[in-house]
């Protein structure tokens, strides 16, 4: 029981003494859970939770019903865990939101990895820029299942005309994590580039986003030179 554990070894006391960075994921989770449930103390309950889902990275994907099935995790604790995870995601997304000016593909890609890495469906996003690469609009154009990947180029240029964009950057995610472009990805990019040439709008890049990495068609020499 925690009663037998020295006070300086308890998560809250350790955080007060050493700061949050000194605590393990299990200890931080124990602080959130606050109390255990017989026969588990709060540290054991936190440990069981992490073990069940294979660590913090997979815990963030757990559903409410999956959390409620864990012994000692009722509806209230499950809701609190989900709320904290969602809050963390939103903080991350806002912190790395697309900057007003795009300086390099890799900067944009790393920002969007955090935003898109947990999405289960493919999202096609277009970043619309002016002549100074300042962001005019970031628009999600298409969300589809894994076998419905890409929208029509006219949807891309509808907003380009509306916002008088001079340049665009295409972005879409691969939920599988494999960032290598498919044949369809390459064909779509060429179609968009050809439309852009006719309209006087440059297609600067097409970024494919995975869980931890990205693929830039421009960096890899797969964009047609204009």
pLDDT at 203: 97
Give residue 131's pLDDT band: very low, low, confident or very high (50, 70, 90).
very high
State yes or no: pLDDT of 184 exceeds 50: yes
Residue 65: which pLDDT band, with cuts at 50, 70 and 90?
Answer: very high
pLDDT value of residue 144: 78
For residue 225, the model assigns a pLDDT of 74
Per the prediction, the chain carries an average pLDDT of 88
| pLDDT score recorded for residue 5 | 52
pLDDT tens digits, residue range 17-50?
Answer: 999 999 999 999 999 999 988 888 999 999 999 9
Where along the chain do its domains lie? Answer: 7-93, 105-216
Instruction: State which CATH number among 3.30.700.30, 3.30.2350.10, 1.10.150.20, 3.30.565.10 fits the domain covering 7-93.
Output: 1.10.150.20
CATH classification of 105-216 is 3.40.140.10, yes or no?
yes
Q: If pLDDT is split at 50, 70 and 90, which confidence band does 135 have? A: very high
d(CA 123, CA 142) in angstroms, rounded, equals 6
Residues in the chain, overall count: 226
Kindly write down the DSSP assignment for every residue of the chain, as one continuous string: -GGGS-GGGSHHHHHHHH-GGGS-HHHHHHHHH---BTTB-HHHHHHHHHHHHTSHHHHTT--HHHHHTSTT--HHHHHHHHHHHHHHHHHHHHHTPPPSB---HHHHHHHHHHHHTT-SSEEEEEEEE-TT-BEEEEEEEEEE-TT-----HHHHHHHHHHTT-SEEEEEEE-TTS--SPPHHHHHHHHHHHHHHHHHT-EEEEEEEE-SS-EEETTTTT-SPP-
What residues have CB less than 8 Å from 112, skipping those under 6 apart?
98, 125, 171, 173, 207, 209, 214
pLDDT at res. 118? 87
Taking only the tens place, the pLDDT of each residue in 148-182 is: 555 688 889 999 999 999 999 999 999 999 999 99
For the stretch 191-213, pLDDT in tens is: 999 999 999 999 999 999 999 99
């Amino acid at each position: 029981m925690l009663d037998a554990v020295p006070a300086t070894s308890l998560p809250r006391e350790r955080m007060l003494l050493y700061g949050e960075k000194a605590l393990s994921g299990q200890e931080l989770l124990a602080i959130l859970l606050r109390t255990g449930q017989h026969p588990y103390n709060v540290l054991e309950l936190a440990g069981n939770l992490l073990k069940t889902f294979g660590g913090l990275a997979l815990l963030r994907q757990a559903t409410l019903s999956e959390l409620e099935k864990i012994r000692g995790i009722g509806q209230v604790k499950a809701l609190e865990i989900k709320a904290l995870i969602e809050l963390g995601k939103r903080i991350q997304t806002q912190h790395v939101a697309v900057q007003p000016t795009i300086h390099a593909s890799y900067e944009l890609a790393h920002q969007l990895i955090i935003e898109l890495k947990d999405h289960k469906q493919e999202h096609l996003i277009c970043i619309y820029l002016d002549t100074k690469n300042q962001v005019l609009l970031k628009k999600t154009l298409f969300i589809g299942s894994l076998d419905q990947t890409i929208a029509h180029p006219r949807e891309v240029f509808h907003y380009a005309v509306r916002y008088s964009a001079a340049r665009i950057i295409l972005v879409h995610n691969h939920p599988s994590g494999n960032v290598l472009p498919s044949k369809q990805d390459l064909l779509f990019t060429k179609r968009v580039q050809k439309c852009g040439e006719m309209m006087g709008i440059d297609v600067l890049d097409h970024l494919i986003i995975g869980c931890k990495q990205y693929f830039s068609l421009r960096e890899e020499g797969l964009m047609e030179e204009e």
